[in-house]
């Protein structure tokens, strides 16, 4: 499986106020920057975002073969769009995963999903049954690759022993350092898998948060940005890309300028001291 180094996140697309031609232009601008992978989930936008993206693909059919579609399933939200859901819960049963894939294919107006992720760990997951579901979807050509999101190393290993997984999409940012110490990134390195990173700018907290850690990290990023002649956001992305697991950060913005800042991080390589300055600002102390 090949994803672009930076992935465009579509989580908030329902709130962007774009008509179909504007969505087409946004996709084209991402492609022009080398961002060819687009991250979705069935639940995004109250179960509406996949259809918005699919409408754009239908308006410009030539786009589909130029990009990769990532989507997720397994969360059932309480929503007017899903009146049968009485409580938010997780479901990795064969019936739900297959139905979710069929619905995503229709909404996205495509004949295949490049990468399907299980969105959250399901305490009732039957790993053998889910592996069988994955293999049938792959054999049918409906899903090309599989992975998970937000899974701990043991949860990842449980499923990976039964079916080859391509990635674990995790939260990681200069303000969320847990994957450095909880074994998640170690596992990616051990298996040679590149993680995907959601909320790489801490959901905007990195530049708007008033807590002490955010202020410290923001100060260091600003200093380094002036040294490098780039934006602080670019330095933040460069800090993430410096990890040897070669992660794929997911942007969350409609602004092409913000996506370009992420792409620009590929030209910057922080040394050990620079990387540790950001880590120390986040933790509030030097390394032991």
| Contact criterion met (CB below 8 Å) for 247 and 197 | yes
Which of 44, 47, 90, 237 is catalytic? The answer is: 44
Measured between alpha carbons, how far is residue 195 from residues 82, 93, 191 in Å? 31, 25, 11
Q: Bridge partners of 143?
A: 113
Active site residue 44: yes
Q: How far, CA to CA in Å, does 13 sit from each of 8, 172, 194, 279?
A: 11, 22, 25, 32
Distance between CA atoms of residues 242 and 22, nearest Å: 34
| Residue 274: CB atoms within 10 Å | 18
Burial class (CB within 10 angstroms; exposed 0-12, middle 13-18, buried 19+) of 42: buried
Contacts of 204 (CB under 8 A, 6+ apart): none
Point out the residues that are catalytic: 44
């Amino acid at each position: 499986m090949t994803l672009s180094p930076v992935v465009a996140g579509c989580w908030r697309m329902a709130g962007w106020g774009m008509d179909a031609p504007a969505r087409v232009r946004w996709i084209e601008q991402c492609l022009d920057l080398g961002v060819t992978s687009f991250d979705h989930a069935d639940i995004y936008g109250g179960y509406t975002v996949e259809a918005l993206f699919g409408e754009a693909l239908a308006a410009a059919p030539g786009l589909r073969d130029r990009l990769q579609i990532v989507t997720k399933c397994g969360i059932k939200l309480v929503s007017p769009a899903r009146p049968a859901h009485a409580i938010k819960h997780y479901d990795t049963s064969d019936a739900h995963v297959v139905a979710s894939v069929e619905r995503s294919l229709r909404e996205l107006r495509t004949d295949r999903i490049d990468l399907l992720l299980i969105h959250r760990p399901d305490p009732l997951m039957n790993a053998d049954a889910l592996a069988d579901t994955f293999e049938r979807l792959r054999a049918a050509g409906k899903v090309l690759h599989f992975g998970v999101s937000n899974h701990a190393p043991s949860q990842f290993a449980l499923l990976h022993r039964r079916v080859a997984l391509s990635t674990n999409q995790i939260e990681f940012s200069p303000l969320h350092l847990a994957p450095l110490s909880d074994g998640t990134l170690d596992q990616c390195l051990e298996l040679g898998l590149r993680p995907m990173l959601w909320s790489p700018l801490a959901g905007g907290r990195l530049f708007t948060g008033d807590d002490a850690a955010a202020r410290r990290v923001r100060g260091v990023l600003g200093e380094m940005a002036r040294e490098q002649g780039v934006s602080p956001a670019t330095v933040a992305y460069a800090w993430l890309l410096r990890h040897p697991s070669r992660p794929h950060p997911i942007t969350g913005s409609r602004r092409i300028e913000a996506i370009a800042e992420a792409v620009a991080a590929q030209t910057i390589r922080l040394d050990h001291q620079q990387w540790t300055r950001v880590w120390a600002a986040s933790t509030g102390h030097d390394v032991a």
